[in-house]
Structure 1
Amino acid sequence: MVDVSISSQLRDAVPGFKIGVIYYPSIVIGDLPPLIGDRLPLYYENIQLSLDEHPVSEIAGVKEWRTVFKKVGTDPSRYRPSQEALLRKIKKDGRPHFIHSAVDLLNFFSVQHSIPMGLYDAEQLRGPVQIKVGTEADQYEGLNGRTMHMNEKIVSADAISAFGSPIVDSKRTCVTEQTTCALQIVYLRPSMDHKEARQLIDKMAEMFTQVHGGNHEFTLIQ
């Protein structure tokens, strides 16, 4: 299990800030099984239809995470929480990009529960990981192809550098079909109580393991 902590600055800025951390050793990534993969397009189509009546900005998880961003100094209209970006893409295009089983399942979890998530190749991480408020020194090449400057944004950093956030993650630690050990960070809603949070993490971990094999261990950190 990777050692993960939350900085005191972030805890002070966002009362109730909590994350779920799930470690998956010995997984196999490929295509989603048909039982799930064949149903996702219809699921996203239904989400798209619902967004015609309910604006993305009014979804409870989106509203709460936009507030979290403001508390640490991030403008959520310029840098959107990743689940909001996913929902806006679904509203526009009908579904997110399908990549491989691990990312596709993570996107489903994020949309379903309206919270940001990150998934990282654990073998690319070095030393303990800290979730913190970024500084001018924290930057990385994002999966969106841009250099992400993470000052006053929530970031995950290991002994090498910052590598992830609830906005967009880095290329350095991205999960591919060659990944066999992964670390999932679930950015829970601060308002969620511990029992509900643990149940949610356990449910996601069980489903991820059913699809990818291996086993898992998880912890709730606040």
Structure 2
Amino acid sequence: MKIIVSQEIESVCPNFVGAAVEAQVVNTPYCAELWDEIHAIEEQFRKELTTESLKELSGIAATRRVYKACGKDPSRYRPASEQLIRRMLQGKEIYQIDTLVDLVNLASIAYGYSIGGFDADKFVGDTLTLGVGKEGEPYEGIGRGMLNIAGLPVYRDKQGGVGTPTSDNERTKMTIDTTHLVVLINGYDGNEERVADNARFIQKLIHKYCQSDGGKFFIYR
């Protein structure tokens, strides 16, 4: 798989760095040990963060800056990492979906990056391009219906948009039957070391909980 970062993104975030994790996996409806990890970080963050201070986390702050530069209000279309941590800090439960979705959420919470998790067998073509959403561009967010992605960073395959930092697309979402996983980490803060650490953390999680060897990852710019 090839990933291209467009000039549109380079112009608003010249330091962007991403990581793609690809693995063969076995998904399950629920994993108690994984949820022990989620609850542990939930307890930690409630001691350390507030709904205001979380916006200062490097990955979240940088994503919000890019939203503004692209013309999107980050308080109306919050990055997924911010959405998840806010729920924790507000005392709300994180939605339990299945093991793949839950572990991608944990990885996003732990590092503050908005992370897309995809069933790679649903991609059209072998190339993804990271650009900026256009007015009227059709996009169905997972559990959100049709989403206005104008001004949002968006990955597109040959057919159209598959993922934004706010919501991934229904068309390429992970399900209980997913066996070919691709996870994309969006480092709008340009911190390659932290992005790589996040990728290795995901490999560790899928090795522990998804009957996988952890797959492989690569950095892209």
Relative to the length of structure 2, the TM-score reads 0.89
Instruction: Using the TM superposition, give the Cα deviation of residue 159 of structure 1 relative to its aligned residue in structure 2, in angstroms.
Output: 0.9
d(CA) in 1 for partners of 2:72, 2:193: 29
Given the alignment of the two structures, is residue 77 of structure 1 paired with residue 75 of structure 2, yes or no?
yes
Query: Per the alignment, in what secondary structure is the counterpart of residue 55 of structure 2?
Result: helix
Counterpart of 1:51 in structure 2 is 49
Contact 2:155 2:164 in 1 (8 A): yes
- State yes or no: 1:202 paired with 2:200: yes
- Structure 1 position 52, deviation (Å): 4.4
The 1-side partners of 2:85 and 2:10 are apart by 27
Measured against aligned partners, the alpha-carbon deviations of 1:24-62 in whole angstroms (never above 9, x if no partner) come to 12x111145433323433431332343349633233332
Q: Deviations over 1:122-176 (max 9, x none)?
A: 1110111111111125321111332112122100111111121001111111101
Q: How is 1:13-162 mapped onto 2 (pairs within 5 angstroms)?
A: 13-25=12-24, 27-52=25-50, 55-127=53-125, 128-162=127-161
Deviation at 1:90, TM superposition (A): 1.2
The 3-state SS of whatever aligns with 1:172 is helix
Structure 1 segment 159-198 matched on structure 2, within 5 A: 159-192=158-191, 194-198=192-196
Counterpart secondary structure, 1:23: strand
State the alpha-carbon separation in 1 of the partners of residues 105 and 84 from structure 2: 8
1:210 aligned counterpart, secondary structure: helix
Q: Which amino acid aligns with 1:69?
A: Y
Pick closer, same or farther for the CA change 1:52–1:129 going to 2, 3 Å.
Answer: closer
Closer, same or farther in 2 for the Cα pair 1:61/1:198, shift >3 Å?
closer
Change (3 A) 1:52 1:151: closer
Query: TM-score under structure 1 normalisation?
Result: 0.89
Contact kept? 2:107, 2:198, Cα under 8 Å: no
Task: Say which SS state the counterpart of residue 177 (structure 2) adopts.
Answer: coil
Take 1:6 and 1:196, find their aligned partners in 2: how far apart are those partners?
19
Alpha-carbon distance change, 39 to 189 in structure 1, aligned in 2, over 3 angstroms:
same
Q: 1:190 offset after TM fit, Å?
A: 2.5
Could you list the per-position Cα deviations for residues 176-207 of structure 1 after superposition, in whole angstroms to 9, with x for gaps in the alignment?
11111111010124331x34433332232232
Q: How far apart in 1 are the matches of 2:89 and 2:138?
A: 30
Tell me which moved more, 97-106 or 37-46: 37-46
User: Any unmatched runs of 5+ in structure 1?
Assistant: none
Q: Structure 1 31/38 Cα, relative in aligned 2: closer, same or farther at 3 Å?
A: farther
Question: d(CA) in 2 for partners of 1:147 and 1:135?
Answer: 14
Any runs of at least 4 consecutive aligned residues in structure 1 with deviations exceeding 4 A, and if so which? none
Task: State the alpha-carbon separation in 2 of the partners of residues 114 and 14 from structure 1.
Answer: 17
Return the offset for 1:102. Answer: 0.8
Aligned Cα RMSD in Å? 2.0
Are the structure 2 counterparts of residues 159 and 76 from structure 1 closer, same or farther at C-alpha, using a change threshold of 3 Å?
Answer: same
Specify the SS of the correspondent of 2:77: coil
Mapped contact 1:48–1:94 kept (Cα < 8 A): no
For structure 2, the residue ranges without an aligned partner over 5 or more in a row are none
